[in-house]
Structure 1
Amino acid sequence: MNDYKNQILEILKNSEQPMDVEKIREAAGIGNWNTALKHLLELKLQGIIEGQKTTKSWVFWIKKEASER
């Protein structure tokens, strides 16, 4: 897995709520919005993260295990 994907996973693991592409992009230091979305959608397709298309954009999160709540 590349550095961007690892950074994205760390950001989402530490997030209390779902995050949109722009917030994840800024936190991960990714320069391009489309690059961030590409990595996020790849992680979603791999089943590593969850994502939902909204009327504005996408939001992503990692499911917290019951023991982590």
Structure 2
Amino acid sequence: MKNNIVLLEIAEVVAQIVPCKTRNRNFKSACIAVSGDDEECDHDCRRVGGWYGGSCKNQKCVCDC
């Protein structure tokens, strides 16, 4: 039982260190940060996906989960 608690605590620490990112498939165009798409991506991730936010990465809108 004690080992299970330790493993859960380790998993929580790893989850806090490794950020969760997921591609926003609703964002159809190329995501170019300098053209203002970064703000649109962030808004779309929050409004549509219910994520924490988002930004352009490699011309794709990526949401923070």
TM-score, normalization by structure 1: 0.30
The structure whose Rg is larger is 2
Which structure has more strand as a fraction of its residues?
A: 2
TM-score, normalization by structure 2: 0.31
